Structure 1
Amino acid sequence: MVHAYILVQTEVGQAAAVAKEIGAIPGVVSAEDVTGPYDVIVRAEADGVDNLGRLVVAKVQGVPGITRTLTCPVVNLA
């Protein structure tokens, strides 16, 4: 299982709607509004890197109101 954080920038005033819609996507563990350079932080999981890529490109990036995403896969260094 691969886990990742997806940092999302949205159009002005769209963060809450984007977080709600992303939160309903299968594979998304959580989607929360935040302040700072990103508007929503998403925790996602998938069976492998390829499926994670499909989740981000085909599902998350298709949500209206998103202007940019940055996917940060979780690594286990210990």
Structure 2
Amino acid sequence: MVQAYVLIQTEVGVSTRVCTDIAELTGVVEAHDVTGPYDVVARVEAETMADLGRLVLAQLQQVPGITRTLTCPIVHV
């Protein structure tokens, strides 16, 4: 299982809707509105890195109002 935090920037005024929309996607464990340079932070999980990439590119980035994402895979050392 691969997990990551996805830091999300949105258009002005839509972060709450974006947070609600992405929280419903399969693979999104949790999503939160935050303040600072990013508007929403999501924790996601997938079976493989390839599946994680598909989740971010094919599902998450397609949510209207998202302008940029930064994916930070979780490492276990």
TM-score by length of 1: 0.98
Match of 2:20 in 1: 20
CA displacement at 1:10 relative to structure 2: 0.2
Q: Distance in 2 between matches of 1:50 and 1:16?
A: 28
Moved >6 Å (runs of 4+): none
Aligned residue runs from structure 1 range 1-78, under 5 A: 1-77=1-77
Q: Distance in 2 between matches of 1:16 and 1:62?
A: 16
TM-score by length of 2: 0.99
Q: Distance in 2 between matches of 1:46 and 1:37?
A: 26
The residue matched to 1:41 in structure 2 has which SS?
strand
> Could you list the runs of 5+ residues in structure 1 that have no partner in the other structure?
none
RMSD between superposed Cα atoms in Å: 0.3
Per-residue CA deviation, residues 20-57 of structure 1 (Å, 9 max, x unaligned), is 00000000000100000000000000001000000000
Q: Distance in 1 between matches of 2:28 and 2:67?
A: 19
Q: Distance in 1 between matches of 2:33 and 2:75?
A: 24
